[in-house]
């Protein structure tokens, strides 16, 4: 197994660009091999640990109790490393919503701003889990990163958390001069359920002021019944038991989170809850989507990327081979997390 820095070199160097139906796909390999169906060894070690220690059992995925939800929350996230060197972190409140702000001490005024929305299936997750990823992104992209501590379901169901996220974005647009931010270069990004909220914020931005959306392994349709989904779309060769665990570990959690987030049955099909159901995909801004190879949500990510491309949106998809859901939370452990931050930073600096 290559060491961390050797992997970073390989991830930067060994890139395969393809085009499928007009969609640009950048494929990032497992650093040690070009073999199809290979699993990243670092991901395997983490997934083995999760499989042995995951303690939560839900009796009814459609009606999880608050005690079960709390247990799920406590099981989420991971420890990770702070790879940044000159980033300050401060707490603030934007229009009644708590946020954390990350920026370099010498950051010039009127810099770009990236609004980050953490994942956790709408029912969990915290700004703490992605704090180190956000700090490194702030350093590598020379921008301010605002991470939103929004309210969680089921105590705060759809659309409460979404409205809080959009209030933060509106606050930035209205107060950008006092905040020292360039509102003409505002980016919204999020992971998993946070990516869902990020895309929904772009739909709410009817003035189309958001310049770039970055969606990490996004949940684009909260309808838990996906009849067209099949694991036959995955290349499963090496360690098939682990590969299937990496794919399927999210399936039941999505049912729990979707039914906890959505109270009204009709809202499952609402574009603000399921952004891929937007009647006009051309309204979305330039988009960067990141999808791990062995993620249950991979088909949603790729279908949405293709939907955007077919409707004239500048969209690119990064596929990280051998990886599973939530790898972005592991800077310093997964070199793919740092590589992903570098790619996002490059996209932010290009706007």
Per-residue H/E/C for the chain: CCCHHHHHHHHHHCCEEEEECCEEEEEECCCCCCCCCCCCHHHHHHHHHHHHHCCCCCCCCCCCCHHHHHHHHHHCCCCCCCCCCCEEEEEEEECCEEEEEEEECCCCCCEEEEEEECCCCCCCCCCCCCHHHHHHHHHHHCCEEEEEECCCCCCCCCCHHHHHHHHHHHHHHHHHHHHCEEEEEEEEEEECHHHHHHHHHHHHCCCCCCCEEEEECCCCCCCCCCCCCCHHHCCCCCCHHHHHHHHHCCHHHHHHHHHHHCCCHHHHHCCCCCHHHCCCHHHCCEEEEEEEEECCCHHHHHHHHHHHHHCCCCEEEEEEEEEECCHHHCCCCCHHHHHHHHHHHHHHHCC
Q: What is the pLDDT of residues 145-189, one digit of tens each?
A: 999 999 999 999 999 999 999 999 999 999 999 999 999 999 999
Report field, pTM of the whole predicted structure over 0.85: yes
* pLDDT band, residue 23 (cuts 50/70/90): confident
Average pLDDT value for residue range 116-139:
98
Q: What is the mean pLDDT of residues 217-242?
A: 90
């Amino acid at each position: 197994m290559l060491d961390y820095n050797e992997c970073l070199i390989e991830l930067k160097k060994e890139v395969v660009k393809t085009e499928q139906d007009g969609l640009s796909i950048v494929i990032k390999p497992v650093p040690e091999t070009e073999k199809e169906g290979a699993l990243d060894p670092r991901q395997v070690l983490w997934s083995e640990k999760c499989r042995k220690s995951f303690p939560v059992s839900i009796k009814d995925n459609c009606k999880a109790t608050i005690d079960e939800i709390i247990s799920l929350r406590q099981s989420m996230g991971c420890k990770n490393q702070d790879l940044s060197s000159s980033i300050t972190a401060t707490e603030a409140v934007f229009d009644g919503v708590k946020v954390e702000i990350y920026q370099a001490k010498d950051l010039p005024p009127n810099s770009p701003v990236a609004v980050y929305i953490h994942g956790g299936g709408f029912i969990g997750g915290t700004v703490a889990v992605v704090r180190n990823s956000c700090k490194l992104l702030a350093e590598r992209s020379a921008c301010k990163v605002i991470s939103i501590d929004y309210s969680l379901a089921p105590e705060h169901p759809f659309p409460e958390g979404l409205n809080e996220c959009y209030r933060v974005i509106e606050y930035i647009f209205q107060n950008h001069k006092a905040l020292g931010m360039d509102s003409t270069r505002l980016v919204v990004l999020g992971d998993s359920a946070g990516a869902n909220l990020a895309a929904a914020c772009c739909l709410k931005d009817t003035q189309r002021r958001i310049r770039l959306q970055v969606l990490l392994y996004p949940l684009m349709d909260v309808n838990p019944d996906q009849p067209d989904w099949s694991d036959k779309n995955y290349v499963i060769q090496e360690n098939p038991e682990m590969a299937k665990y990496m794919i399927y570990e999210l399936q039941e959690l999505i049912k729990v989170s979707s039914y906890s987030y959505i109270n009204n049955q009709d809202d499952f099909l609402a574009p603000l809850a399921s952004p891929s159901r937007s009647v006009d995909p051309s309204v979305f801004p330039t988009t960067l989507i990141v999808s791990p190879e062995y993620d249950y949500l991979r088909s949603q990510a790729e279908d949405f990327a293709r939907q955007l491309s077919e409707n004239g949106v500048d969209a690119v998809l990064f596929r990280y081979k051998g990886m599973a859901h939530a790898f972005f939370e592991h800077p310093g452990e997964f070199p793919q997390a740092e590589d992903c931050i570098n790619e996002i930073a490059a996209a932010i600096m290009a706007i």
